[in-house]
Amino acid sequence: METNLTASLSVLVGYNGTTVSFEVEEISTPVVFGPQVKSLDFVIPTTIFLGLMVLATIIGNVFVIAAILLEKNLQNVANYLILSLAVADLMVATLVMPISILNEVTKTWFLQNEVCDMWITFDMLCCTASILHLVAISVDRYWAVTNIDYVRNRSAKTILIMIAIAWFVGLCISMPRLLGWRNPDNVPSKSGMCMINRDIVYTFFSTGGAFYVPTIIMLIIYVKIYQVARSRIRKKNFIKKQSKKQKYVITVPSPTNGLTESSPNGITETSIMLDETSCVNGLNGCSDKNDNSKLTANTSSEEVKLALLPNACVNAAKAKKQKEKLEMKRERKAARTLGIITGAYIVCWLPFFIIALSNPFLQNIPDIVNSIVLWLGYFNSSLNPVIYTIFNPEFRNAFQKILFGKYTRRRN
């Protein structure tokens, strides 16, 4: 931090009865103060905790980038978005978060004003790009779910355009500070703090473009994705409801007319074609326990089928119930995945942007609150590599190969 010391000096010199007066004004001497660190009880645990978060963010995103570059199965057009997202989050971890740690453990901003401008610019650029990549991924998934031809014909050009838009919008939101759109008093050398521009117009412009509008779009898209996935999972059930009769082919054991080579125990397999109507009619008046004691060697095939009908219908009902359970499980998994993705994103970033939108109007927000919501937003860059890859077995296999050095062994 620099301060200017101004002195006024008057010198009177007497010589032969004459007086000479010298007056020196505006002597500016820059005095540079070093970093004023907070107490060690705060600095040590804070640095360790936040440093581990930075390290985890770097490792996670490096793993994602390495997996896509090394694993052939992951080198597809759809994963370009994941790759660019990992690059944005890696930039957050390397260019933004270390200076943020330094800012947390010092009382005042002691670096140059230009460093502050670059730090704020990279912060807004990388975080905004990361958020907009999440929107692009949701749009890509929506097109993939609703249009089968899109999956087959997904072009690199389309994905690259989406990536370019995400970075361009991030630049549009972050560059105004460098172009002079800032409060005159928001200068670190004067205020001792490096802060985001709190101009009301710019606050609405930046928070709306970086979070609120993308979040609304993302929520709408994920609701539609869930609805489409749910309807597809239940598509077969809808087709069944349109049909009056549902056919089942059940194979049940039935007694034979004697011992044969193919049925040494006197039992053969009888296939019965059932529908819902026949099951209802066949089970009316039947007890839960099916009595096959009346079946003899002389019993006709039709009589065998009628006698075994209750058991066959019970088996069909069980099969149908198991299928419905499987469909419900898949539906719950789809809902859980989307819930984790949107929930983690909103939990991480919503508090920060609520505070950011309130800062021009509420001047007394505690510094600890600003710090918590800021690092909670950064934490989203640590979660993205986990959320967007843990549900993909190909990524999990690639991570295992990287951990156990299988790619290195192949090259050797």
| Domains, the chain, ordered by start | 40-244+317-404 (1.20.1070.10)
Q: What is the pLDDT of residue 189?
A: 73
* Cβ atoms of 87 and 141 closer than 8 Å: no
Handedness of CA 184, 186, 188, 190 (dihedral sign): positive
- Round to whole Å and give the CA distance between 170 and 195: 18
- Round to whole Å and give the CA distance between 135 and 218: 6
Q: Ramachandran region of residue 405, left (φ > 0), alpha (ψ -120 to 50) or beta?
A: left
The overall pTM is greater than 0.75 = no
Give backbone dihedrals phi and psi of 391, rounded to 5 degrees, phi first: -85, 0
Q: What is the pLDDT of residue 87?
A: 95
Pairing state of beta strands 9-15 and 18-24? antiparallel
| Closest among 395, 412, 410, 404 to 67, alpha carbons compared | 395
- Round to whole Å and give the CA distance between 72 and 83: 14
- Round to whole Å and give the CA distance between 198 and 152: 46
- Round to whole Å and give the CA distance between 100 and 124: 13
* Cβ atoms of 341 and 389 closer than 8 Å: no
Model pLDDT for residues 279-309, shown as the tens digit of each residue? 555 444 444 444 444 544 444 555 555 555 5
Please give the sequence-ordered ranges of beta strands (E in DSSP) within 164-291, or none if there are none: 248-255, 267-274
The rounded average pLDDT for each run of 10 residues, N- to C-terminus, in the chain (412 residues) is 44 47 46 67 92 95 93 88 93 94 88 88 93 91 83 87 94 85 72 81 90 93 83 62 50 49 49 52 47 49 52 63 65 67 89 90 84 93 85 85 72 49
Q: What is the pLDDT of residue 362?
A: 80
